[in-house]
Amino acid sequence: MAIVEVKVPQLSESVAEATLLQWKKKVGDAVAIDETLIEVETDKVVMEVPAPAAGVLVELVAADGATVAAEQLIARIDTAAVAGAVAPAAAPVAAAVAAAPVAAAAVSNNSKAGVAMPAAAKLLADNGIAAADVSGTGKDGRITKGDVLAAAAAPKVVATSAIPTGAPTKSLPQVAAPTVSLANSMAGRPEQRVPMSRLRARVAERLLQSQSTNAILTTFNEINMAPVMEMRKRMQERFEKEHGCKLGFMSFFVKAAVHALKKFPVLNASVDGNDIVYHGYFDIGIAVGSPRGLVVPILRNADQMSFADIEKKIAEFGQKAKDGKLGIEEMTGGTFSISNGGTFGSMMSTPIINPPQSAILGVHATKDRAMVENGQVVVRPMNYFAMSYDHRIIDGREAVLGLVAMKEALEDPARLLFDI
């Protein structure tokens, strides 16, 4: 027997612990080297834990949902064992599952369909849901944590006729209804309590930190997007053919932001105690929505990137955020951020500064509006930009002129080529 230990990957210096999500293998399964065994969620990213060697998974030391630290032992692999030769009951996790009444019934079934994963078994017991009432979407029909959460979130009809007044809510028998009208749903006043993910909790912490430590003000301006839209339309086909990616608006926004930050360096600075730190580089954070919450990956040295480089990197960030594959190093640092709420239809907002940065640009939806030019009313595609800034180090003059510089660059894109 040659045992290889599986440990939690090294976490970043600012991350003390992480949470195990769901094991993708069970005790007795064969694993290949570098095959993903489980994902680990920190307050910043979700990391995969690959198998360090090929063999058979013989023990799960930590169960789904466990809180773990860097380099902590979570499983063992026998490189000399044969798949199927290890009894699942030998694993601590399997034993823990057998201790739960609902899970015991599932494990006793010889069919894999209807068998609850460890974390799912606990949720079944906590919510009083029978495994037979949940459709499993995991491998071979196994019930996952997500299946139980979905079942728990489904509307319930409460049988109240035989329940005395004042009886505890938890003791009320619940019967799942195939269809529930809106009136019944509102009358039942259903609730669901779900713990925050580590990422969501971290986002909440940082937003409160930003509001409590920064003197946040926001300045607005309107941008005529017609010149950028015309240039984009004229160059789109050639750009895509040459670079293999589409020409979007975000590359223009990034270029315009860098253009303004060069003119007003304090917008690119940060506060450190009683000092102002002026950064001689431009690392632009791009706010990206993901299934796990808001993440802000960084475009390093954005001033040195071409339009194509920016578009490709943003597309890469978007896909990684969707798949939960963004690395810690990709979201660390940043000197200025851009949040494009316009992709979701936002017309106006006051973005919150991403600490320790001192300013953030909010971009919104572009809409045709009636504008007055030379005494005439004309229709123009307008976008309202908002820049929130830390008034401790940035005065209104720099904030307003910085936003004006972005406006002028976008309304006359040739300025970006000549840096004027």
Measured at the alpha carbon of residue 81, what is the angle toward residues 80 and 85, in degrees to the nearest 5? 170
**DSSP letters along 299-317, please?**
ETTGGG--HHHHHHHHHHH
Nearest to 332 by CA among 10, 12, 11, 49: 12
User: What is d(CA 402, CA 407) in angstroms, rounded to the nearest whole number?
Assistant: 9
Q: Given the residues 140, 323, 395, 412, select the one marked as catalytic.
A: 395
**Alpha carbons 86 and 78: distance in angstroms, whole number:** 10
- 391 a catalytic residue: yes
- In three-state secondary structure terms, 290 is strand
DSSP bridge pairs for 272: 275
CB atoms within 10 A of CB 202: 17
395 catalytic? Reply is: yes
**Residue 403: left (phi > 0), alpha (psi -120 to 50), or beta?**
alpha
The single residue of 243, 279, 309, 391 carrying the catalytic annotation is 391
Give the catalytic positions in this structure: 391, 395
